[in-house]
Homo-oligomer: A and B are copies of this chain.
Amino acid sequence: MAEDVIRQRVEAWTKAIRAKDLEGVMSFYAPEIVSFDIVPPLRYAGADNKRRAWQEAFAGYAGPITYEARDLNISAQGDLAFAHSLNHVNGRLASGHINDLWLRWTACFRRIAGVWLVVHDHVSVPADLEHGQAAVNLKPRAP
């Protein structure tokens, strides 16, 4: 089933992130991806910009990265699919600070030449709009 294939793709992608394997990570994305990423800008397009974002992310970590997708929910039909999960990232930054963060992750897929590729992703933490703060200390509770 398409959902199973996509689940395996997500697992391979998280494994590539943990290995800081840039080519492995990039094989997940369509060339024309439109991304709403965790850090600014609001939006960027294209695999080159996605590659740059991952290069910067990997460079920011001094040692290993833990990255896991929890409660991964996938819907697929024909050549379209979408998925969402809560992703736990943990690692020591170059500054010494330990990043230990839960991200909301949404990915929209299109099957292109037989391969499920992410054409749109959205990664975030909630915001405290009144105080202009990013809510970086939240943990999952039952959905």
Contacts and interface: CB of A to CB of B under 8 A. Distances in A.
Contact of A78 (B77, B84, B135): B77
A115 interface: no
Q: Is the interface of A mostly helix, strand, loop or mixed?
A: strand
Q: What bracket does the count of chain A residues touching chain B fall in?
A: 35 or more
A77 B77 contact: yes
Kindly report how many copies of this chain are found in the complex they form together.
2
A13 B95 CA distance: 44
B106 A120 contact: yes
A8 interface: no
Nearest to A109: B82
A42 B134 CA distance: 11
Interface string A50-73: 000000000000000000000001
